[in-house]
Amino acid sequence: MNKTLALYRAGLGLIALRVLDDTVLQPPPGTSFLDHPLSAIVPLVALALAAVRFRPWLALVFGVLGIAAGVDGAYYLRGPEDVTGLVAIGAGLGLIGVATAGWWRSRRRRVLKAIGAVALLFFVIAPMGFGYVTGHVARDFVPENHLGVPTENVRFESSDGLMLDGWYVPSRNGAAIIVFAGRKGPQAQARMLARHGYGVLLFDRRGEGRSEGQPNSWGWNGERDVKGAIAFLKRRGIDRIGGIGLSVGGEMLLETAAETRELDAVVSDGAGSRSMKENPGDAFALIGLGMRDLGVAVALGHGPPPDLDGLVARIQQPALLIAAPNSPNGERLNRDYARGSRAQLWEIPEAKHTGGIKARPAEYERRVVGFFDDAL
């Protein structure tokens, strides 16, 4: 048992080293440990408490989470700065091995322990690890520009001081549209709007491409990027500003519109849910979603954003919700978001997630451009 305990503690120590490296020694560009101290304190305290005594189930938990903590190092693999990520993956695999050996040596209730381990892995550890990974990994390159019109390379600050990198198509009609999120997915919408004379701003959200900050796939705190984009356009002399967002980009634009009247009109295409609070479901599904949110919260050092249902009801500006209700991405929730609000809802049953522009290109252009023409 002494050898097992030593291996167990060594594995936990190597994972703690990765956490320290990721949050204190080499935090994401534009951030510091003081910006999100809980993202270091919570996992380090948990690792220290777990090290007091060996338990196979704890070795399994921190083994999987150790692998999750190292995924971004393996994903980016830019140089020596990511070595601790690879070390954490190795330590995680070692802890899973120690857990398996511990259970195998204990002959009593072997089958029940195996069933419990699978349930723990499926409902708790895997969702939490997934959430942690999505709070660390994002696209790290700038996609090719296929807009087909002259663009400017621009940089501006988010409302909390991160430098964001993007492209700007100057306005020909005095109005501009923020096309969000990122510079890859929404280029078709950007080309469409540019053809009609609108200024178009596309940029990489925090932690993506060349933009600073901690990435996260769920858009928590992403409204701060949008507010920075609004300020950038106003400095360019643009007073009529709209936004169109795809998937999580739509969710972030809806939150922004609920918080500030400086966004004059918003189109949300493919919004779903950002946290457990917005997801109806049975108890088992909610457990998994809650664990996922916990993983994201640990990665980012703060809790989830407000419920979209309540946010959409607060929007006073013109808003258009576009949804593919038969897609598996939660777009059916737009019916709940539209109910009791001023927002219009346009459903496209045959479309895939954010695929309305492909399913009905002519109608999509007519509806979206017409919406902005009326609102702006």
pLDDT in tens, 287-303: 888 999 999 999 999 99
Q: Does an H or E element contain 320, and which?
A: strand 319-323
Shared-domain flag, residues 164 and 86: no
Beta bridge partners of 266: 243, 319
Which of 51 and 118 is assigned the larger pLDDT? 51
1 has a pLDDT exceeding 60: no
Domain boundary among 134, 163, 189: 134
The confidence score (pLDDT) of residue 280 equals 74
- Is 158 a member of any domain? yes
Shared-domain flag, residues 59 and 204: no
Shared-domain flag, residues 25 and 111: yes
Beta bridge partners of 240: 175
272-277 contacts: CB < 8 A, separation 24 or more? 272/247, 272/248, 272/329, 272/330, 272/331, 272/333, 273/308, 273/330, 273/333, 274/218, 274/219, 274/220, 274/248, 274/304, 274/305, 274/308, 275/218, 275/304, 275/305, 275/307, 276/304, 277/304, 277/307
Separation of first and last alpha carbons in the chain:
71
Q: Determine the 3-state secondary structure of 357 from DSSP.
A: helix
What is the tens place of the pLDDT at every residue in 217-242? 999 999 999 999 999 999 999 999 99
Vertex 259: Cα angle to 371 and 161 (nearest 5): 110
Q: Which CATH number goes with the domain that contains 162?
A: 3.40.50.1820
Shared-domain flag, residues 238 and 352: yes
Length of the chain: 376
User: What number of CA atoms fall less than 13 Å from residue 258's CA on the CB side?
Assistant: 22
Vertex 141: Cα angle to 219 and 205 (nearest 5): 25
Q: How far apart are CA 35 and CA 146, in angstroms?
A: 36
- Widest distance between CA atoms in the chain: 76
Would you say 232 and 201 are in contact if contact means Cβ atoms under 8 Å apart?
yes
Would you say 170 and 152 are in contact if contact means Cβ atoms under 8 Å apart?
yes
Beta bridge partners of 152: 168
Shared-domain flag, residues 165 and 123: no
Q: How far apart are CA 158 and CA 177, in angstroms?
A: 17
Q: How far apart are CA 63 and CA 68, in angstroms?
A: 9
What is the tens place of the pLDDT at every residue in 12-44? 999 999 999 999 999 999 999 999 899 999 999
Shared-domain flag, residues 127 and 160: no
Shared-domain flag, residues 17 and 103: yes
- Is 193 a member of any domain? yes
Tell me, rounded to whole angstroms, the distance of Cα 86 from its chain centroid.
23
Confidence class for position 253, pLDDT limits 50, 70, 90: very high
- Is 295 a member of any domain? no
Shared-domain flag, residues 118 and 168: no
What is the tens place of the pLDDT at every residue in 72-84? 988 887 777 789 9
The confidence score (pLDDT) of residue 277 equals 86
- Is 346 a member of any domain? yes
Count of H-run helices and E-run strands, the chain: 14, 8
- Is 370 a member of any domain? yes
What is the tens place of the pLDDT at every residue in 84-129? 999 999 999 999 999 888 877 776 666 677 777 788 888 889 999 9
Q: How far apart are CA 256 and CA 323, in angstroms?
A: 19
Alpha-carbon distance values, 223 to 144, 179, 218, 360 (Å): 25, 13, 12, 29
The confidence score (pLDDT) of residue 108 equals 62
> Any idea what DSSP says for residue 144?
P
- Is 357 a member of any domain? yes
What is the tens place of the pLDDT at every residue in 198-216? 999 999 999 999 999 999 9
Specify the residue for token string 């309540």: 310
Specify the residue for token string 């966004």: 263
- Is 275 a member of any domain? no
Would you say 22 and 74 are in contact if contact means Cβ atoms under 8 Å apart?
no
Shared-domain flag, residues 241 and 214: yes
Shared-domain flag, residues 57 and 191: no
365 has a pLDDT exceeding 80: yes
> Measured on CA atoms in the order 324, 325, 328, 333, is the torsion positive or negative?
positive
Question: Domain containing 344: what range?
Answer: 152-270+306-375
Shared-domain flag, residues 198 and 71: no
Q: How far apart are CA 372 and CA 375, in angstroms?
A: 5
- Is 220 a member of any domain? yes
Full DSSP string of 176-237: EEEEES-SSTTHHHHHHHHHTT-EEEEEPPTTSTT--S---TT-TTTHHHHHHHHHHHHHTT
Domain count, the chain: 2
Whole-number mean pLDDT of the chain? 93
Paired sense of beta strands 199-203 and 240-246, if any: unpaired
Would you say 251 and 337 are in contact if contact means Cβ atoms under 8 Å apart?
no
pLDDT mean over 318-344: 95
Report pTM.
0.92
The confidence score (pLDDT) of residue 187 equals 97
Shared-domain flag, residues 75 and 168: no
